[in-house]
Amino acid sequence: MARTRITPLRLDGENAEQKRDEIRRVFHETFSLYESLFEHLQDAAAWMEKAIPLRHPLIFYFGHTATFYVNKLQFAGLISARLDPHLESVFAVGVDEMSWDDLDETHYDWPTVESVRQYRHRVRQMVDQLITELPLTLPITWDSPWWVILMGIEHENIHLETSSVLIRQLPLSQVAPVAAFTPWNQAGTAPVNRLLPVAGGEVHLGKARDDRQYGWDNEYGNHEIALQPFKASQFLVSNEEYLAFVEDGAYRNPDWWSAEGDAWRRFSRAEHPSFWVPHATGWQLRLLAEERPMPWNWPVEVNALEAAAFCRWKSARSGAELRLPSEEEWRHLRDLSGLDDSDSWEDHVPANIGLMAGCSPCPVDQFPQGDFYDLMGNVWEWTCTPIYPFPGFEVHPVYDDFTVPTFDQQHNLLKGGSFISLGNEMQREARYAFRRHFFQHAGFRYVDSANALPDVPIYESDALVSQYAEFHYGRNYYGVPNFALAVAELALQARAGKPLRKALDIGCAVGRSSFELARHCPDVTGLDFSARFISVGVQLRERGHFSYTLAEEGDLNSYQTIDLAALGLRETADHVHFFQADACNLKPLYRDYDLVIAANLIDRLHHPRKFLDDIRERILPGGLLVITSPYTWLEEYTPRSEWLGGFKKDGENHTTLDALKEILLPYFRLREESPLDLPFVIRETARKYQHSLAQVTLWERL
């Protein structure tokens, strides 16, 4: 049997130079495979047209995986300069329907395909050189610089899969077959699905820190549970089994749908699975670049809302209480199957995975794995479990927005991988989650189970996010006024009597100053590098409230809730829009502001002078720039060569204020009421606080 298209990497080995060569090979194979996927696109319109409204056009994803390398390598301090700042801002963010993704096409002047190809070539050369020169010690750990390179490879694996879904959703006239992505040909009548008994037992999930395969941060930690016996369907639900649901008019009957599912059903006007195509001669199935008569014994591919609705419908027909499996139940089935993990495969691959034999689903009875079929591969399996952090979870510092923004109870876990899954996606411990209305190469099996579903936390437990939520919206401590409110009030007072049509809060964190400005300004933009922070502002804007845990002592926590209405901020919340952005590499659309606030930002930037040189061009004449900072320069955030102040220059003390005057006075007037000191207190626990002073300077644009 064929091997997977690209052999899985391990983090250990006996010889560092052999591992270096292996990483170089996998990097180039992955980079090239991704580029070959886009050979499906037949004309310029295919590159520039959105396959679905809540995604960028495919030109974005072609550039995105390359800019990811540059952005992450620079953030990790492994490279000192960008290759193309414009492309690295345009292609930086916009991949998971998050509310802070900017999907307004009027904001983008997409580059040509050829220019992106040339850019990808430059990135390929840069990463290859880094692989050649970077010292390598084995095993590779998640604090190793090599982890960032592996992260880029795995990130491209993810987008190989998600981009293939988008290509599958383009008009058929815009795509053509590519030999490297030929689908399976076997098809026939589906086997009768049946429930098989599953013994109970202990389930252990979570990677150890010394695991020898790459993992995303959400996979680490330890979660244990004892399951009672249950039953599970032997096969994934096939197109034929799902047909009865469609023919019964279930897409027109709200009784089978959850409230969320019914809202999606009515909004989308769906009448059948997205990849089913009605023809005069009968149903056909849309693949990447062709339609073919419906292969009834292939797994149906639907979103989680459709899968859950089918389970309700089939429960009513069968008398059993059916639902999607939990993450733990899927894992128990996988453990009982006896399947080895992907790094132990050689020439025998026990599943339709990793492009080992075809780029499409295959019959649901093709790959037995113990008593069940397709516990791994063919298509992903939806679970009923929203993704959440295991005990011991830590955010990876280089990619802090990979997982945490999905801990919102709106992203359900998919398990097992699909025919196009590679690398980490093939692992037993892999944890990927998508919005329940999201289309992936994903299907489902059902279970009849009395096992309790996991209690997914509803409170934000990310320590730093909770700390900043309290800092912005919580109580005042030791008589020190709320800092975010005080900064906004200072800015508004300094702007009194002048137009305030458009404001920017850059480095907005969890957004209090943005909401305060919105009470007086009809158009406020909040930008922050951290999606973890941005997600708080987004949830407050959309829901009006946000809950979080607050550390008290040791393992003890209290539970807090922010209520915008109680703060008098609800009525004008829609004046604010939050986006993720790099302050040192802003998109061109962020400009023409009457007011810009940069609170406690400059001493946390890689290139603060570059930020200051750039931000002045984004402020209208007569506009106001408000800078606050405690000037705590640290090489952890800013290379010493980039510090604005805090050192000797020509034998004399050189302060940050000295530098601000040198940089800004040719273009700004320093307002006479500044500089001034503004205190702030950050609560860490009930008995530990940070008490600091920020210097505030007010600069009026000449």
CATH of residue 97: 1.20.120.450
Q: Is residue 681 situated within a structural domain?
A: yes
- What is the pLDDT, as a whole number, of residue 389? 87
pLDDT at residue 530 is higher than 50: yes
What phi and psi values does residue 122 have, to the nearest 5 degrees? Answer: -65, -40
pLDDT band, very low/low/confident/very high, at 52 (cuts 50, 70, 90): confident
pLDDT band, very low/low/confident/very high, at 476 (cuts 50, 70, 90): very high
Q: Is residue 265 situated within a structural domain?
A: no
Task: Kindly state whether residues 573 and 493 are assigned to the same domain.
Answer: yes
- What is the pLDDT, as a whole number, of residue 454? 72
DSSP 441: S
Task: Print the domain residue range for 371.
Answer: 195-230+298-448
Q: For the segment 379-408, what is each residue's pLDDT rounded down to a tens digit? A: 999 999 999 888 888 888 898 778 877 887
- What is the pLDDT, as a whole number, of residue 167? 97
- Considering the chain, what percentage of its residues have pLDDT values greater than 70? 97
pLDDT band, very low/low/confident/very high, at 548 (cuts 50, 70, 90): confident
Q: Is residue 255 situated within a structural domain?
A: no
Lookup: tokens for 261: 């599912």
Averaged pLDDT for residues 430-443: 95
Task: Kindly state whether residues 170 and 222 are assigned to the same domain.
Answer: no
The one-letter code for the residue type at 426 is M
pLDDT at residue 681 is higher than 50: yes
SS3 123: helix
Task: Kindly state whether residues 408 and 485 are assigned to the same domain.
Answer: no
Q: Is residue 95 situated within a structural domain?
A: yes
Q: For the segment 250-307, what is each residue's pLDDT rounded down to a tens digit? A: 999 999 999 999 999 999 999 999 999 999 999 999 999 999 999 999 999 999 999 9
Mean pLDDT of the chain: 93
The model carries a pTM of 0.81
Q: Is residue 91 situated within a structural domain?
A: yes
Q: Nearest-CA neighbor of 190 among 534, 426, 443?
A: 443
Prior bond of 139 cis (ω within 30°) = yes
Q: Is residue 283 situated within a structural domain?
A: no
pLDDT band, very low/low/confident/very high, at 362 (cuts 50, 70, 90): very high
Task: Kindly state whether residues 224 and 162 are assigned to the same domain.
Answer: no
Q: How far apart are CA 296 and CA 543, in angstroms?
A: 43
Q: Look up the CATH number of the domain holding residue 210.
A: 3.90.1580.10
First-to-final CA distance of the chain = 71
- What is the pLDDT, as a whole number, of residue 1? 42
Task: Kindly state whether residues 378 and 490 are assigned to the same domain.
Answer: no
Q: For the segment 110-169, what is each residue's pLDDT rounded down to a tens digit? A: 999 999 999 999 999 999 999 999 999 999 999 999 999 999 999 999 999 999 999 999
- What is the pLDDT, as a whole number, of residue 94? 62
The domain boundary, picked from 448, 472, 491, lies at 448
Strand order in the sheet with 230-233: 195-198, 230-233, 447-448, 322-323
pLDDT at residue 346 is higher than 90: no
- What is the pLDDT, as a whole number, of residue 402? 83
pLDDT band, very low/low/confident/very high, at 103 (cuts 50, 70, 90): low
Q: Look up the CATH number of the domain holding residue 616.
A: 3.40.50.150
Q: Is residue 219 situated within a structural domain?
A: yes
Task: Kindly state whether residues 332 and 390 are assigned to the same domain.
Answer: yes
Task: Kindly state whether residues 697 and 614 are assigned to the same domain.
Answer: yes
Q: Is residue 385 situated within a structural domain?
A: yes
Q: 515 near 573, Cβ under 8 Å? A: yes
Task: Kindly state whether residues 505 and 538 are assigned to the same domain.
Answer: yes
- What is the pLDDT, as a whole number, of residue 689? 95
pLDDT at residue 555 is higher than 90: no
- Considering the chain, what percentage of its residues have pLDDT values greater than 90? 82
Task: Kindly state whether residues 554 and 684 are assigned to the same domain.
Answer: yes
Task: Kindly state whether residues 484 and 427 are assigned to the same domain.
Answer: no
pLDDT band, very low/low/confident/very high, at 107 (cuts 50, 70, 90): low
Contacts (Cβ under 8 Å, ≥6 apart) of 347: 1, 3
The one-letter code for the residue type at 259 is A
pLDDT at residue 557 is higher than 90: no
Give the chain's domain count: 3
- What is the pLDDT, as a whole number, of residue 129? 97
Task: Kindly state whether residues 691 and 612 are assigned to the same domain.
Answer: yes
The domain boundary, picked from 139, 174, 209, lies at 174
Task: Kindly state whether residues 365 and 416 are assigned to the same domain.
Answer: yes
pLDDT band, very low/low/confident/very high, at 100 (cuts 50, 70, 90): very low
pLDDT band, very low/low/confident/very high, at 636 (cuts 50, 70, 90): confident
Q: 411 near 457, Cβ under 8 Å? A: no
Q: Tell me the sheet residues that pair with 412.
A: 386, 434
Contacts (Cβ under 8 Å, ≥6 apart) of 445: 232, 233, 235, 236, 237, 325, 372, 381
